[in-house]
Structure 1
């Protein structure tokens, strides 16, 4: 009985660790149309008409 509990607990722990390690294959990058420099997401929210967002793939 104790062995079954340990196996179930180990399996549950392994599944939760694997789920946390997965990252998305893309991320968003924000650029200002006025200055041409990359900006943060908070700056993008302040002036959405002068910034644009592109999706980049992770390597």
Structure 2
């Protein structure tokens, strides 16, 4: 009985860790529409109408 509970617990924890890893494999990249260069997040907040954000995979 203890082995069954331990097996279920380990399976559940591994699923949680796996799901968290999948979330962190992308990041956001911000680009200025006026100049075409990549900008920081703070610059994006200053002029949101002239920047766009894309999600990128970590490679």
> Is the alpha carbon distance of 1:38 and 1:30 closer, same or farther for their aligned partners in structure 2, counting shifts above 3 Å?
same
| Runs of 4+, deviation exceeding 3 Å | 23-28
* Alignment match, 2:45: 45
Unaligned ranges ≥5, structure 1: none
- Listed as ranges, the matches of 1:1-59 within 5 Å are 1-23=1-23, 27-32=27-32, 33=34, 35-49=35-49, 51-55=50-54, 57-58=56-57
Q: TM-score, normalised by structure 2?
A: 0.64
Question: Alpha-carbon deviations, 1:3-50, whole Å to 9, x = none?
Answer: 1111111111111111111147765422231x442111221111123x
Residues paired across the two proteins, number: 57
Unaligned ranges ≥5, structure 2: none
> Is the alpha carbon distance of 1:38 and 1:9 closer, same or farther for their aligned partners in structure 2, counting shifts above 3 Å?
same
Larger radius of gyration: 1
CA distance in 2, matches of 1:7, 1:56: 37
Q: TM-score, normalised by structure 1?
A: 0.64
